[in-house]
Chain A
Amino acid sequence: MIAALRTWTDQLLGRGAAAITVPIFDGALKPNQILEQAETFAELEEPEDLATDGRSLFVADGACVLRYDGGAATTVAQVDRRITGLAVLSRGGLAVALDGTELRVIGGPHDGRNWTGVAGKPLNAANAICATADGRLLVTDGSQTQPCHRWCHDLMSLGRSGRLLELDLTDGSAREIVDGLVYAFGAVSAGKDVWVCESWAHRVVAYGEGKWGLPIVSRLPCYPSRLAPAANGGYWLTAFTCRTQLVEFVLRQKAYRTRMMKEIDPRYWIAPALTSGNTFLEPLQGAHLKMRGIHKPWAPPRSYGLVMRLSRDGQIQYSLHSRVDGKNHGVVGAVECQGTLFVLAKGRRRILKLPVAELERSLRP
């Protein structure tokens, strides 16, 4: 009764869960133009994920896996379906997620091993793979109800069916570490723990001994995507778009959302996107305001590009941005390889490269 009254008063007064607030990009998240000004390494048809073995860069592009040694690309694997997640295995070979519904090992000592379901539930939206040094695969299955490409439907229907899975390459066993995640997208092995991104909850949480769902980074002003280890310790965390008060408002309006999802083309929803500004029919980013002599977007951003450098304990140390007026949006992956940070801006179908030493020198306080 009290809880119901509380909910009612919160909705009336715009407080608690009904407070439509969004954290600000400040401190280590202070916007810059580094991602926007980064050198373009490659432009591809359907890039989906990045991985590295420490020497070369591997890119999942449609149904192919490309390997870049220097600037030249070689196709190292071709599969029958779209690849939605990619990892390079420590003992050779690749692990790929096929259309989100199957995990398959290509090459190496475990060539041909595959999984289509874990803990009695089929894989539905496997979107990121992390290969650990001890021969395990950490896999995030984003949603049990929507496939990978319908991630926005999952957000708009307030999906809460993501899973973190652990697969053993040696014996083929698999277990579900946790389910009910608010869109699981990206995981990394952090010592004895596993860190996993919950995109719609705007946080990274840890699972391990004594840390069950412990928030490592929380209340992010963005929707986090994949995690990757950094060479000098710590991690790279990417975010494919940022939060806005308008979208937060829409997420609290069930009737509106339901009708929008039913009647309007998903491209024109009031929802985050990997890219924007492609057509005047898009609901946002139409207006500008001149402040301090600079044209600033008046409308809330629909797409954004962001990479965050995390310390070993999950503290954000600095960040790289492609702001609302930029193009390198929809960042879904970043890997560090031989002193270079490669960033996948899926919204622009582009891989960017940035020298890590220079980033550390100029951005680390």
Chain B
Amino acid sequence: MTGAIVELRKATKKYAGVPAIEDIDFALLPGEIHTLVGENGAGKSTLTKVMAGVVSLTSGQMFIEGREVRPETPVQALHLGIAMVFQETSLVPTMTVAQNLFLGQERFFNRLRGIYIAAQQFLQSLQFDVDPTATVSLLGAAKKQMVEIARAVLHKAKVIIFDEPTASLTPEEKKYFFDLIFNLKARGVSVIFISHALEEALLVSDRITVLRDGKLVVTDHKENFDRARIVQAMVGRDMSQTLYGRRKTAMRPAGKRVLSIENLRMAAMVKNNSLSVFAGQITGVFGLVGSGRTETFKVAAGVIKRDIMYGGEVLLHDKPVRYLVPAPAVRDGIVYVTEDRKVEGFFETKSIADNIYLGLLAKLRGQRKLVSKREATEVGEQLIKRLSIRAIGKDVKAIELSGGNQQKLVIAKSLVQEPDVIIFDEPTRGVDVNAITEIHQLINRLADEGKAVVVISSYLPEVMALSDRILVCRMGKVVEEFSALEATEEKIMYAAIH
């Protein structure tokens, strides 16, 4: 596009061969506010990270003011005039505001008073009410955002990218933040703004781009959008027709209530959340990032702790439980299959059989005084067969497995514990199509066997294809429940956003 300050042509970025964004043509005009919207995993963050030099393109071209560039690091991107403000601020919390502003630009002889004065003058010129001598850790979310923005402007950024900037702001702080954005626009700075809040997108943007499954669906002026059109563009995917195309025509009847969560609170993430999970059913849990869905179930499984005072109740078979670590939860029959398998899921240098056996030992507590190699082999072989884990042999290390088989290993490690409640968090993230089908079959089988199954997923078609009932989370609590038969993608997304 002529006159674009940043332009991407046929931009593709692949992680381990899987495209996060594919063939994207994107243009940012000077002085415009451009909002990117899309589901989790749609490719918004990857697209902006490419521009900010955090990741490099696998193929395609990037132009700044008509000149082809290829920023390899954020510093290079900053020199080209592109700054990114991450959701979690990148400020040094123990330093003052002024020190953070001039970080990396220090002179040989630094005079603290000098940078305070310079910072004061600069912040005043931006009309930011921030004390330059204040320690960053003591600032609120909005003030931290201001410092981040000031730093970007100080570096003479022509483009500032905001990743979910309003997620942690109060309504007053949001209003102030939007004023800042308009202020930047008036200075001729272009802004890219990632948001899940469609009202915000419609309020502040000049143009809106909708991404879906790593592809650009539509870019248009905000006047041509309304909520319904954005939601339709966000969810109406073709890919779903292949893997998740069939709609549920029957749902399993609920068995006994196995797990209840009542008025659960956990810091700012979970706010008075209540829900029930029933035996013999798959309970799907959908929500956007920050909706508190993962944290709720991590508390139930003892992975993280709820608030110390008035943290609510978790009841297993109608008896209150409070787990400080996962081991007693596992012994009582609750397992959590993590979304981050590489960090939390397995020991990567141990064999498949050893990993599975470790799962069993966690369940048995002190009942095994000595580790039995033979038992480990037997248990390993049994689970490898049951879950069709494909490897050259059972002694293959976990790290040498494909993503799909690693995920099956994590599931096997949990199934060996014979749980009553199995919580799958993003069970098919980073998994190939065949493995997805197998994992889905396994999840369905577990529910048919009478287990209480929870599937937390950011991927709507997956939630809809698997779940008998769907809970939608927003702002730390369940806001809506749908049966599998009444749910539509639009209804679920609408509940997750509004």
Q: Chain B residue with minimal CB distance to A245?
A: B263
Residues of A within 8 A of B315 (CB): 219
A27 interface neighbour in B309, B469, B479, B494, Cβ under 8 Å:
B469
Contact A24 B310 (CB under 8 A): no
Contact A22 B263 (CB under 8 A): yes
Stretch at the interface among A8-16, A39-47, A179-187: A8-16
B278: min CB distance to chain A, Å: 6
Residues of B within 8 A of A26 (CB): 274-276, 471, 478, 481
- Distance, CA A291 to CA B320, complexed state (A): 32
Residues of B within 8 A of A219 (CB): 257, 260, 315, 318
Q: Chain B residue with minimal CB distance to A365?
A: B253
- A14-B309, A14-B311, A365-B483 are known contacts. Are A22 and B498 too (CB-CB below 8 A)? no
Contact A22 B276 (CB under 8 A): no
B262 touches A (CB below 8 Å): yes
Residues of A within 8 A of B274 (CB): 21-24, 26
Q: Which of B438-485 contact A (CB under 8 A)?
A: 469, 471, 478-479, 481, 483
B322 touches A (CB below 8 Å): yes
Q: Which of A302-330 contact B (CB under 8 A)?
A: 315, 317
Q: Type the 1/0 row for A262-301, where 1 means its CB is closer than 8 Å to any CB of B.
A: 0000000000000000000000000000011100000000
- A218-B318, A291-B498 are known contacts. Are A13 and B254 too (CB-CB below 8 A)? no
Contact A21 B263 (CB under 8 A): yes
Contact A23 B253 (CB under 8 A): no
Residues of B within 8 A of A245 (CB): 263
| Chain A interface size range | 20 to 34
Contact A19 B310 (CB under 8 A): yes
Residues of B within 8 A of A365 (CB): 251-254, 483
A27: min CB distance to chain B, Å: 5
Contact A24 B322 (CB under 8 A): no
Contact B498 A292 (CB under 8 A): yes
Q: Type the 1/0 row for A129-144, where 1 means its CB is closer than 8 Å to any CB of B.
A: 0000000000000000
Residues of A within 8 A of B322 (CB): 15
A175 touches B (CB below 8 Å): no
Residues of B within 8 A of A215 (CB): 318
Residues of B within 8 A of A27 (CB): 254, 257, 276, 278, 469, 481
Residues of B within 8 A of A15 (CB): 311, 322
Contact B308 A13 (CB under 8 A): yes
- Distance, CA A263 to CA B209, complexed state (A): 62
Contact B276 A13 (CB under 8 A): no
A155 touches B (CB below 8 Å): no
Q: Type the 1/0 row for B120-163, where 1 means its CB is closer than 8 Å to any CB of A.
A: 00000000000000000000000000000000000000000000
Q: Which of B235-285 contact A (CB under 8 A)?
A: 251-257, 260, 262-263, 274-276, 278
B313 touches A (CB below 8 Å): yes
Contact B495 A292 (CB under 8 A): yes
- Distance, CA A23 to CA B314, complexed state (A): 10
Q: Chain B residue with minimal CB distance to A30?
A: B481
Q: Which of B196-253 contact A (CB under 8 A)?
A: 251-253
- Distance, CA A28 to CA B254, complexed state (A): 8
B312 touches A (CB below 8 Å): yes
A23 interface neighbour in B255, B262, B471, B481, Cβ under 8 Å:
B262
Contact A292 B494 (CB under 8 A): yes
A356: min CB distance to chain B, Å: 18
Contact A24 B275 (CB under 8 A): yes
- A26-B275, A219-B260, A292-B495 are known contacts. Are A21 and B313 too (CB-CB below 8 A)? yes
Q: Which of A218-245 contact B (CB under 8 A)?
A: 218-219, 245
- Distance, CA A293 to CA B263, complexed state (A): 25
- Distance, CA A293 to CA B311, complexed state (A): 30
Contact A19 B313 (CB under 8 A): yes
Binding site for A on B (CB under 8 A): 251-257, 260, 262-263, 274-276, 278, 308-313, 315, 318, 320, 322, 469, 471, 478-479, 481, 483, 494-495, 498
The 5 A-B residue pairs with the shortest CB-CB distance, nearest first, are A14-B310, A21-B262, A24-B274, A21-B263, A21-B313
8 A-B residue pairs with CB within 8 Å: A23-B262, A26-B274, A27-B257, A28-B254, A219-B257, A219-B318, A245-B263, A293-B498
